[in-house]
Chains A and B, each alone.
Chain A
Amino acid sequence: MRVAFVFGWQMSRKIEGTMSSPVISGATAHPSPASSPAPAAEVIGVAKSFGAVQALRAVDLTLYPGETHALLGENGAGKSTLVKILAGIHLPDEGEIRISGQAVTLRSPLEARAHGIAVIHQHPTLFPDLDVAENIFMGRQPRGRFGQIDWSAMRAEVDRLLAPLGVGFDSSTPVQGLAIADQQLVEIAKALSLDARILIMDEPTASLSAREVERLFAIVRRLRDHGVAILFVSHRLEEVFALADRITIFRDGARVITAPASDLTLEATIQHMVGRQLQTLFPKEPAEIGDVVLRVEQLTRAGVFHDVSFELRRGEILGLFGLIGAGRTEVARVLFGVDRADSGTIHLDGKQVSLTSPAVALQLGIGYVPEDRHRQGLLLPFPIASNVTLPILPRLSRLGIVNRPKERDLAAEFARRLQVKAAGVEQAVAALSGGNQQKVVLAKWLAANPRVLILDEPTRGIDIGTKAEVHHLISRLAVQGLAILLISSELPEILGMADRVLVMHEGRITGIFDRDEADQERIMYAATGQARIPA
């Protein structure tokens, strides 16, 4: 599997075409750390905890100008916390931060900015009602002789900043209509205008298409060549090796290793990140696959996805893979009645159904564990019991009155089954860890007893231990006869869990693979919409 993986990403890079030199050149194009200029930023012994959770344990990190430094680690490793500390959003509990050799305290994003740090978050926070120029210059608009804002000067300056970025919008475009990729570039232009010496990017490629990634990397390389120190956090190992000069790996809040990218192999990297062999993570039990439960035919939603057709059987785990933006969650939303399709049909147990709302979907036996746990999956101030029973409260009621003892028992039963670690089912869900919160969401949908369960990125943002538990659970559910649609952007997870794999790219199904013929290479081809090369 290791060979296939390596081959896979090397091949995909070749096919992308414009990919720069292979991994080696990333390091040799620049002086080794020993002879590099003075550090732009140093993180020394920084530790941070949130209540009982120790997010960072005395970590060190050094950023040099003219170098791209990647930060890797599993979810919960502490990467985002470090980014937020450097961004001035959190204050470290211990340790020191030095910018250009000087110790500083970053008490706010403004102070971070004043020290030359620019941060591009995963979801850019811009002013939707204002245009690009104002977003870049808000608070420091150029002024004319009488103190009035000089719009033409501002626009001209912004156009000048945007020119080398090769974008399709100009300074007067309202930000509201921009795709995330373009919003990121607005943030980068803002960083440029602030003459940032340190650029930090948190999961910058999560929402980008392949071409947008390519464009972004070209810009980042150019910034690096101009002497900017770049730190980026990413899950996508292929991209990391393509872009980074040095790599630091975090695990469980501590730094595990820092090394030039050329010195690290893929397998070693994964091992440092995970701390154990990949194989033990995905224990799939064989399940008896029965009749077709769900059949989707030519489902189309204009501008979102087209002609999506597939079948799902009892006991089957159907993986749905694709890069972000492929349209997978959009399909799931239609299957759960959140959105309506423009054309196409959905059949449950042979009968055509019209899914007008999640309530209707539930009635017909479809459940959905959403991608966004906090906004869509849970009511954070509510206790575990209320969260678990919300969809099925009418079933637990007589003449409308809720049977509270029955509710509590049911919730306790499912919490026990899923091993939710909490101080009883009356505890508010907000106090639980990410992994336990996800278990509560799962408990909710298991209690609803569906026939079809759609899981959208079920193990995102969960610690490794809970991840394995969730995978065990999914496997067991399939054995019990549930039909499962597993949406994931983690290739190993899909390969480990799915009986069949559907691949989507920009709204269309570009590949369907059985378990034995699915491998990283083929799936990545389909996911990036490339023409297939005969095996």
Chain B
Amino acid sequence: MTRLARWETLLAALLVALFAIGIATSDVFLRGSNFSLIASSTMEKAVMALPMTLIIIGGEIDLSVASTAGLASAVVGKSWEAGWPLWLCLVTALVVGAACGLLNGLLVTRLGLPSLVVTLGTLALYRGLASVLLADSAISNFPAGFTRFGFGKIGGTGIPWTLLVFLPLFVIFDVLLHATWIGRQLYATGTNPEAARFSAVRVANLKLGLFVISGVLAALAGIMYTARVSSSRADNAIGFELDVIAAVLLGGVSIFGGRGTLFGVLLSLAAIATLRNILALNSSNAELQSIAVGSLLILSVLGPNLVRRLRGAQPGRLAGSRSARMAEAGD
């Protein structure tokens, strides 16, 4: 547990450092409008990162979130174009998101397929369905209220409306993960799914539920994106899954499952957004952002590994790693 606390401290320090750099390199950094720019462009990814964190802690992964978001966006657009009331379009999109998550969950839990491959397939399938629905066209005549929600800020502050969607969700997920028995069961599942099952944890139902929630929240993110850019296109939110996963992993969540906190993910989302913002303000093109995020991701695992290596943790190769286990094996 203390190792993670150290990681979050590192992230917090990183965030502070980034803020310092931001202030130093640009006059507009501290402006409210800039803050809202950082915040609003990250909201969709942040919303998707919440269930993604739980899924990865549980030992699985969901690569299809961005495609689900895109499909949801297409559904919103198409149903709006067909004349449905807005609330119905949104609800339909959420239902579609749930269905997408359900398919993922069923294939993983009932058929036992690896989630990496399943969600890779549904990544293509859902994006493909979005393409079939929208082809090359874009639907953009959404009502002003919708657009204002997605793009606008509260009163004179720089706080985007969409933050009001994210924050309660963050609180709910945080409580769920860290204080409820469901969260504890999730950590157990990610650490040792067999032992968890033998301890009466309903592993299959847990994972199924997570995938469905992931689908619903991905759809929500898709709705938010549509509102923000005021347009429904087949390539909405394309590639977002990489950013989401990168943010989760950078936040201290282990790809192997069983470890991580939402607070760390929050910090990492903030850090990545701030980093992108600084680079954008300094007229760096997208490429530096790309390099920076990728490097951060690699460093988040490489760093601790190298530190451990330098401290000389492993004596003999085979001996060091297995001795603890073997000593317990009882001979």
Residues of B close to A394: CB separation below 8 A: 181
Complex Cα–Cα for A400 and B173 (A): 13
**Does B308 touch A at the CB level, under 8 Å?**
no
**In contact, B191 and A379 (Cβ under 8 angstroms):** yes
- For B323, give its contact among A50, A109, A382 (CB under 8 Å): A50
**Does B202 touch A at the CB level, under 8 Å?**
yes
B183 and chain A: residue at smallest CB distance: A402
**In contact, B179 and A401 (Cβ under 8 angstroms):** yes
B326 and chain A: residue at smallest CB distance: A84
- For B318, give its contact among A108, A390, A434, A448 (CB under 8 Å): A108
Complex Cα–Cα for A516 and B88 (A): 75
- For A380, give its contact among B175, B192, B194, B326 (CB under 8 Å): B192
B317 and chain A: residue at smallest CB distance: A108
Residues of A close to B195: CB separation below 8 A: 375-379
**Does B6 touch A at the CB level, under 8 Å?**
no
**In contact, A362 and B200 (Cβ under 8 angstroms):** yes
- For A393, give its contact among B175, B185, B198 (CB under 8 Å): B185
**In contact, A76 and B198 (Cβ under 8 angstroms):** no
**B85 to A: closest C-beta gap in Å:** 35
Residues of B close to A361: CB separation below 8 A: 200
B residues 283-331 in Cβ contact with A at 8 Å: 316-319, 322-331
**Does A475 touch B at the CB level, under 8 Å?**
no
- For B331, give its contact among A51, A75, A358, A376 (CB under 8 Å): A75
- For A375, give its contact among B194, B199, B202, B331 (CB under 8 Å): B194
Q: How large is the interface on A (under 10, 10 to 19, 20 to 34, 35 or more residues)?
A: 35 or more
**In contact, A401 and B201 (Cβ under 8 angstroms):** no
Interface size on B, residues (CB 8 A): 37
Residues of A close to B176: CB separation below 8 A: 400
A residues 397-442 in Cβ contact with B at 8 Å: 397, 400-402, 430, 433-434, 437
**Does B99 touch A at the CB level, under 8 Å?**
no
**B186 to A: closest C-beta gap in Å:** 11
**In contact, A91 and B329 (Cβ under 8 angstroms):** no
Complex Cα–Cα for A397 and B185 (A): 13
Q: A338-B198, A379-B195, A401-B179 are in contact. Are A90 and B330 (CB under 8 A)?
A: no
**A430 to B: closest C-beta gap in Å:** 7
Complex Cα–Cα for A325 and B185 (A): 32
**In contact, A359 and B200 (Cβ under 8 angstroms):** yes
Q: A394-B181, A402-B184 are in contact. Are A51 and B330 (CB under 8 A)?
A: no
**Does A89 touch B at the CB level, under 8 Å?**
yes
A residues 69-114 in Cβ contact with B at 8 Å: 75-81, 83-84, 89-91, 107-109
**In contact, A370 and B331 (Cβ under 8 angstroms):** no
Q: A338-B197, A361-B200, A362-B200 are in contact. Are A400 and B180 (CB under 8 A)?
A: yes
Residues of A close to B194: CB separation below 8 A: 375-376
**A78 to B: closest C-beta gap in Å:** 6
- 1/0 per residue, CB under 8 A from A, across B239-283: the answer is 000000000000000000010000000000000000000000000
**In contact, A444 and B316 (Cβ under 8 angstroms):** no
Residues of A close to B317: CB separation below 8 A: 108
- For B198, give its contact among A75, A91, A368, A382 (CB under 8 Å): A368
**In contact, A393 and B184 (Cβ under 8 angstroms):** yes
**A286 to B: closest C-beta gap in Å:** 31
**In contact, B184 and A391 (Cβ under 8 angstroms):** no
Complex Cα–Cα for A386 and B187 (A): 11
Residues of A close to B175: CB separation below 8 A: 401
**In contact, B330 and A402 (Cβ under 8 angstroms):** no
Residues of A close to B319: CB separation below 8 A: 89-91
**B191 to A: closest C-beta gap in Å:** 5
Interface of A is mostly: mixed
**In contact, B197 and A358 (Cβ under 8 angstroms):** yes
B180 and chain A: residue at smallest CB distance: A400
Complex Cα–Cα for A396 and B179 (A): 12
Complex Cα–Cα for A461 and B327 (A): 11
**B208 to A: closest C-beta gap in Å:** 13
**Does A254 touch B at the CB level, under 8 Å?**
no
- 1/0 per residue, CB under 8 A from B, across A338-378: the answer is 10000000000000000001110110000010100011111
- For A390, give its contact among B182, B185, B204, B324 (CB under 8 Å): B185
**In contact, B202 and A390 (Cβ under 8 angstroms):** no
**Does A462 touch B at the CB level, under 8 Å?**
yes
A359, A378, A386, A444 — most chain B CB neighbours (10 Å): A359
Q: A376-B198, A381-B258, A401-B179 are in contact. Are A75 and B318 (CB under 8 A)?
A: no
Residues of A close to B328: CB separation below 8 A: 374, 430, 433-434, 437
Complex Cα–Cα for A315 and B147 (A): 70
Complex Cα–Cα for A386 and B201 (A): 13
**In contact, A76 and B180 (Cβ under 8 angstroms):** no
Complex Cα–Cα for A357 and B182 (A): 17
**B212 to A: closest C-beta gap in Å:** 18
Residues of B close to A358: CB separation below 8 A: 197-201
**In contact, A381 and B191 (Cβ under 8 angstroms):** yes
Complex Cα–Cα for A51 and B324 (A): 8
Q: A108-B318, A378-B195 are in contact. Are A359 and B184 (CB under 8 A)?
A: no
- For A444, give its contact among B199, B258, B330 (CB under 8 Å): B199
Complex Cα–Cα for A293 and B185 (A): 30
**In contact, A390 and B199 (Cβ under 8 angstroms):** yes
Complex Cα–Cα for A50 and B182 (A): 36
**Does B213 touch A at the CB level, under 8 Å?**
no
- For B322, give its contact among A89, A108, A380 (CB under 8 Å): A89
Residues of A close to B184: CB separation below 8 A: 386, 390, 393, 402
A residues 15-60 in Cβ contact with B at 8 Å: 50-51, 53, 55
Q: A77-B331, A108-B318, A381-B258 are in contact. Are A402 and B179 (CB under 8 A)?
A: yes
Q: A375-B194, A379-B188, A390-B199 are in contact. Are A76 and B330 (CB under 8 A)?
A: yes
**Does B86 touch A at the CB level, under 8 Å?**
no
Complex Cα–Cα for A309 and B20 (A): 74
**B6 to A: closest C-beta gap in Å:** 17
Q: A89-B318, A375-B192, A377-B195 are in contact. Are A390 and B201 (CB under 8 A)?
A: yes
**A199 to B: closest C-beta gap in Å:** 19
Residues of A close to B191: CB separation below 8 A: 379-382
Q: A77-B331, A81-B331 are in contact. Are A379 and B196 (CB under 8 A)?
A: yes
A residues 146-205 in Cβ contact with B at 8 Å: none
Complex Cα–Cα for A434 and B201 (A): 24
Residues of A close to B179: CB separation below 8 A: 400-402
- 1/0 per residue, CB under 8 A from B, across A318-331: the answer is 00000000000000
**In contact, B181 and A430 (Cβ under 8 angstroms):** no
Q: A397-B180, A401-B179, A462-B330 are in contact. Are A357 and B323 (CB under 8 A)?
A: no
B197 and chain A: residue at smallest CB distance: A358
Complex Cα–Cα for A78 and B331 (A): 6
**A272 to B: closest C-beta gap in Å:** 17
Instruction: Kindly list the 4 A-B residue pairs having the minimum CB-CB distance in the complex, ordered from nearest.
Output: A80-B331, A461-B330, A50-B327, A393-B181
Interface CB pairs A-B, < 8 A, 12? A50-B323, A75-B331, A370-B198, A375-B194, A376-B194, A376-B198, A377-B195, A390-B196, A391-B199, A391-B200, A430-B328, A434-B329
Given A361-B200, A402-B184, 16 further pairs, Cβ under 8 A: A50-B323, A51-B324, A55-B327, A55-B331, A75-B331, A76-B330, A90-B323, A357-B197, A358-B197, A379-B188, A381-B191, A390-B188, A402-B180, A444-B199, A448-B200, A462-B330
